[in-house]
Amino acid sequence: MSGGGGSAAEVAAVLVPLPVILPLCAAGLKLVIGARLERVQRFISAAVLLAVLVVSLVLLVTADRHGPQVMDAGGWPPPVGIVLVADRLSALMLVISSAVTLCVLVYSVGQGMADNDEATPLSVFHPSYLVLVAGVSDTFLAGDLFNLYVGFEIMLTASYVLLTIGGTLARIRAGATYAVVSLLSSVLFLTAVGVVYAATGTVTMAELPGRLDDLPHGVGAVIQVVLLGVFGIKAAVFPLAAWLPDSYPTAPAPVTAVFAGLLTKVGVYAMLRTQTLLFPGNRIADVLMVVALLSLLVGILGAVAQTDLKRLLSFTLVSHIGFMVFGIALATPQGVSGAIYYVAHHITVQTTLFLVAGLIERRSGTTDLQSLGGLTSLAPLLAVAFFVPAMNLAGIPPLSGFLGKLGLLRAGIADGGALAYVLVAGATLTSLLTLYALAKAWNLAFWRAPTPEMSVVGTVLDTAEGASPEEGDDGDGDENGAGADGTSGGPGRPSEEGARQPAGDAPDAGGAAAWGRAAGPGPAGGGGGPGRRGRRGKRRAVLPAVRRTTATFGGQEITTSTTLPVSMVGSTVALVVFGLAFTVLAGPMFGLTQRAAGELLARTPYVEAVMQR
Amino acid sequence: MTGTVALIVCGGVLFASGTAMLLARPLTRILLGAVLVGNGVNLLVLATSGPAGDAALLYPGTTRRAHMADPLPQAFILTAIVITLALTAFLVAMAYRSWQLSGSDDVPDDIEDIRIVRRAAYAEERERLRATYRARRHEYRALAHEEEEREAQEHSAFQRLGKARDQYRELRRRVRAEARAFRARQARAEETAEESEGEDDPWQTILGADR
């Protein structure tokens, strides 16, 4: 420790590797336990993520007070060994990511319980999710480029598993796109690491600034561009973003939420770190600004064209990455500070919106805006939970989205360049179009009258939850027997059968399987009950209109219900409140991001903390 | 760094051919491409370690430390090989699953993308049909308008005709009524004449036998 942090700081330095190690240990433990001991397993996951959150908070406070916390892995000092560094930026990212991952975990536990689908989440989802958290933490804490690469790989390998969980055809297709693109970016990253090592003889980030500054201009620029390309793929910046909307929406809601919130921001974090620490002086600011502008506009125009809520949100994700790249491109203290604030805000809000999309899917069986409708009256809490983060994302004044955008726009105007002004205009236009896209989604899904699909899906699958399948089948058999008797017994019977109808019909609504059985003997029943068959026929005609979704962990069609699980709603609301906290605590938060930006741009605190001990 | 050119050329060729194979559709070809790219990049990283030297193992009493090969790129490569192996295993599993489900391991186009494109095409087609419909409706309305006017003319003609007929009937009615009244008067006159024949006839009274 350079600054003489005292005993508190020394304790904190020991805590630095915990956000990586704890989830990895828990993942190993869970693989051993398998699909048994459900309660214990849920407790382990939640407790570990809670511990990571606490550790991250301690690290943030310590890093803010005593400077960057450094830990040598294996006791080898920096030029040879691997270092883990937690400065203000890393610790802030850790806090946000652990808070978000904890909420998403609680949500996913609720979803698994609601789907009666415990085996897949426990044996596959939880370990992969914990490995993902470890990878994300490792990326934030990595003190050298190669460790950053390893962190990316841990995260990516876990994300391949999470994206293809259940192994349905749609998810394999999405996973293939995602895996191939990510694989290419990883290979490019490894190449970049090789180039850096060949040019400087080190990959320790604290050692690199001095050595990169001595390099010829061209070599440095090549390294910078390759690294930016790699992180651009990860962060889904415009020309490299086409993979994202194709691959994210098919995954289960918690997976999509955490991917959208965290994985792209990991790319932004890496950009922020390398642009400030390794390549000061901002030599390719113009390129970054153009990329940011294109990202903003193309992304939001894509969002406007979508008819599916999840894809719409994916495109806004691509678009809003442009805001952060804009801040990085400015490379002024205000710009970097605005970018950091925006990253924190965007992680939370984007995750919340995807979780709400998952809840909408649970209520109505689809996220297709054309078949949604009337959710304000059907599920008022859901409407509030969607409205607040949506307005936050669009940047309506009192909310944190507005504050983040305002900070960036002010930084852009302070910069004063022509391109910066163009970007300010583009960013304003983008927020307006975001508002348009989200208001469109709001109008279609929440405000118009409920579509026929909404009520039909709700009622049909509600009864499916109430009656067990065996009972439904039995009732069905009796009913058909009575129908056959009625025809043979002559005109005296149909009235009696008519009286029995309601009793037999209720379990009939049990599900598609029951209809399939009833459809066969129905016509043979002759005049048994024309009214009954008519009603059945109508229901069957509605069924194919419902689009098949693959939203559960196992990849089956989701079971919709009017009562949403408490833990899912609770975690979503917690995230909404967490998003609002950025508004309430905007003052201290901006103070922190400004100190973090100052630390990043000064470079010496980081370098000294690692090298001079 | 003074390495051998062969490593760099070999790595470059592997990298390029691997990238080309990554662009293919079948997952098995992508898998082979990933393996090639991974090995190519490993060779490139190895090339950064400079000239070959002794194994980087520090036994007690090792004297030739200056001739030791750079161990760091080797550590990079070992890590990267493990990672590539894991990814290869994952891609194999994914290709097998894809083949199991759909009978092929091609990566298909995104359905939602196609839907959006179709929606645009559908909107264009609808616009075209709407334009045609509007033109047709315009023609039809013109026709209908003409028809209406003609009907209206006919209608007024009928009305005029009807009025004339009513007038004629009215006249005829009046004429007939007058004729009836005249006949009645005449009849009454004749009646009175017959009744008062001989007794109360004024002419008789006046003229008497001169009549």
Task: Determine the 3-state secondary structure of B103 from DSSP.
Answer: coil
A82 membership: H or E segment, kind and range:
strand A82-86
Collect all residues of chain B within an 8 Å Cβ-Cβ radius of residue A307: 115-116, 119
Exposure string of B10-31, with b = 16+ CB inside 10 Å and e = fewer, is: bbeebbeebbebbeeebbbbbb
B47 interaction partners in chain A (CB closer than 8 Å): 194, 198
Q: Which of A394, A386, A329 is nearest to A363 (CA)?
A: A386
Q: How confident is the model at residue B105 (pLDDT cuts 50, 70, 90)?
A: confident
Q: What pLDDT, on the 0 to 100 scale, is given for residue A210?
A: 85
Separation in Å, CA of A277 to nearest CA in chain B: 23
**Residue B79 belongs to domain with CATH number:** 1.10.287
Instruction: Look at residue B203 and tell me if it is in a domain.
Output: no
pLDDT of residue A398: 84
* Whether pLDDT at B209 is above 50: yes
The residue behind tokens 């090995």 is B39
Largest distance between two CA atoms of chain A:
102
Quote the pLDDT of residue B210. 64
Is pLDDT at B71 greater than 90 in this prediction?
Answer: no
CA distance A278 to A272: 10
- B63 burial level (CB within 10 Å; 0-12, 13-18, 19+): exposed
In this structure, is residue B18 part of a structural domain?
A: yes
Q: What was the pLDDT predicted at A78?
A: 75
- Using a CB–CB cutoff of 8 Å, tell me whether A310 touches chain B: no
Structure-token match 């929440």, residue found: A446
* Residue A281, Ramachandran bin (φ over 0: left; ψ between -120 and 50: alpha; else beta): left
In A161-180, the residues whose Cβ lies within 8 Å of chain B are 161, 164, 167-170, 172-173, 175-177, 179-180
Please state, in angstroms and as integers, the Cα–Cα distance from residue A28 to each residue in A24, B90, B137, following that order.
Answer: 6, 19, 72
Q: Does residue A387 surpass a pLDDT of 50?
A: yes
- pLDDT for B196 equals 62
Summarize pLDDT for A51-89 with one digit per residue, the tens: 999 999 999 998 888 888 888 877 777 777 788 999 899
- Rounded to 5°, the CA angle A11-A17-A20 comes to 145
- Please check the confidence at residue A151 and state whether its pLDDT lies above 70: yes
Mean pLDDT of chain A: 79
CB atoms B108 and A167 under 8 Å: no
Distance CA A153, CA B87 (A): 10
pLDDT-derived band at A177, boundaries 50, 70, 90: confident
CA distance A416 to A75: 48
Distance from CA of B93 to the nearest CA of A (A): 10
Q: State residue A545's pLDDT score.
A: 34
Query: How many CB atoms neighbour CB A347 within 10 A?
Result: 24
Half-sphere exposure of A331 (CA within 13 A, CB side): 22
**Residues above pLDDT 70, as percent of chain A:** 79
Distances (CA, A) of B147 to A613, B144, B157: 101, 5, 15
Closest by Cβ to A191, choosing from B1, B41, B119: B41
Average pLDDT, stretch A405-420? 89
B90 and A160: CB-CB below 8 Å? yes
Burial classification of residue A201, based on how many CB atoms lie within 10 Å of its CB (0-12 exposed, 13-18 middle, 19 or more buried) = middle
Confidence at residue A520, expressed as pLDDT on a 0 to 100 scale: 35
A462 pLDDT band, cuts 50/70/90, is: very low
A506-534 per-position pLDDT tens digit: 333 333 333 333 333 333 333 333 433 33
Tell me: pLDDT of A163 over 50.
yes
Query: What's the domain range around B33?
Result: 5-53+71-108
Whole-number pLDDT of residue B103 = 83
**What digits encode the pLDDT tens for the residues A305-341?**
888 888 899 999 999 999 999 999 988 889 999 999 9
Query: How far is CA A349 from each of CA A54, A346, A572, rounded to the nearest angstrom?
Result: 21, 5, 10
Q: Chain B residues within 8 A (CB-CB) of chain A? A: 1, 15, 19, 22, 27, 30, 34, 37-38, 41, 44-45, 47-48, 72-73, 76, 79-80, 83, 86-87, 90-91, 94, 97-98, 101-102, 107-108, 110-113, 115-116, 119
The answer to whether residue B130 sits within a structural domain is: no
Domain count, chain B: 1
Q: Quickly list DSSP for A35-81.
A: T--HHHHHHHHHHHHHHHHHHHHHHHHHHHHH--EEEEETT--TTTS
Which of B84, B103, B115, B34 has its CA nearest to residue A172?
A: B103
Cβ of A176 within 8 Å of Cβ of B30? The answer is yes
Going from the C-alpha of A169 to that of each of A175, A200, A368, A550, the distances in angstroms are 10, 46, 19, 10
**Interface touch B48/A177, C-beta < 8 Å:** no
Lowest mean pLDDT among A193-202, A378-387, A450-459: A450-459
pLDDT at A21: 92
A-chain residues near B24 (CB < 8 A): none
Let me know how many helices (H) and strands (E) chain B has, helices first.
5, 0
DSSP string for residues in B162-192? HHHHHHHHHHHHHHHHHHHHHHHHHHHHHHH
- Compute the nearest-CA separation of A385 from chain B (Å): 26
CA A249/CA A251 separation, integer angstroms: 6
Q: Answer yes or no: do A176 and B107 touch at CB < 8 A.
A: yes
Residue A491, pLDDT above cutoff 70: no
pLDDT for A533: 39
Q: Give percent of chain B above pLDDT 90.
A: 49
Is B94 close to A172, i.e. CB distance below 8 A?
yes
For the record, the structure tokens of A450 come out as 């409920």
Whether B112 sits inside 8 A of A249 (CB atoms) is yes
Instruction: Say what the pLDDT of residue B62 is.
Output: 67
Yes or no: say if A192 and A223 are a contact pair by the CB < 8 Å rule. yes
Q: Say how many C-beta atoms besides its own lie within 10 A of residue A349's C-beta.
A: 29
User: Looking at residues A36-40, what average pLDDT do you find?
Assistant: 79
Residue B182 included in any domain: no
**A550 compared with A569, residue with greater pLDDT:** A569
- Whether B40 is in a domain gets the answer yes
Q: Which of these, A506, A510, A507, A515, lies nearest to A536 by C-alpha position?
A: A515
Indicate yes or no: CB of B76 within 8 angstroms of CB of A194.
yes
Q: Helix or strand or coil: residue A205?
A: coil
pLDDT at A495: 39
Interface confidence (ipTM) of the complex: 0.76
Least confident of A38-52, A327-341, A380-394, A552-566: A552-566
* pLDDT of A1: 38
| Segment A33-50 mean pLDDT | 84
pLDDT tens-place string over residues B46-68: 888 877 777 777 777 766 667 77
Q: Mind listing the pLDDT tens digit for each residue in A236-251?
A: 898 888 888 888 888 8
Q: Does A184 touch chain B (CB under 8 A)?
A: yes
Q: Cβ of B22 and A157 within 8 Å?
A: no
Percent of chain A residues past pLDDT 90, beyond the cut = 32
What SS3 state is found at A467?
A: coil
Q: Rounded to the nearest 5 degrees, what angle is found at the Cα of B203, between the Cα atoms of B198 and B208?
A: 70
B28 inside domain? yes
Q: What is the pLDDT of residue B3?
A: 57
Q: Which of A261, A253, A254, A255 is nearest to A236 (CA)?
A: A261
CB spacing of A190 vs B45 below 8 angstroms: yes
Residue of B nearest to A181 (CA): B22
Q: Which of A138, A58, A53, A142 is nearest to A104 (CA)?
A: A53
For helices A169-200 and A145-163, angle between their N-to-C axes, nearest 10 degrees: 170
- A 10 A CB-CB count for B42 gives 22
The upper half-sphere exposure of residue A565, i.e. CA atoms within 13 Å in the direction of its Cβ, equals: 23
Task: Return the residue of A nearest to B22 by Cα.
Answer: A180
Query: Which helix H or strand E contains A84, and what residues bound it?
Result: strand A82-86
Paired strand residues for A368: A308
Q: For the segment A89-126, what is each residue's pLDDT rounded down to a tens digit?
A: 999 999 999 999 999 999 888 887 777 666 666 778 88
More confident site: A364 or A24: A24
Most distant CA atoms of chain B, gap in Å: 196
Chain A neighbors of B43, CB-CB under 8 A: none
Determine the residue among B94, B104, B111 to mutate to test chain A binding: the one whose Cβ has the most chain A Cβ atoms within 10 Å. B94
pLDDT-derived band at A600 (thresholds 50, 70, 90) equals confident
Position A165 pLDDT exceeds 80: yes
Region A169-178: what's the mean pLDDT? 86
Helices (H), A416-510: 418-442, 452-466, 469-489, 494-508
CB contact under 8 A, B48 and A198: yes
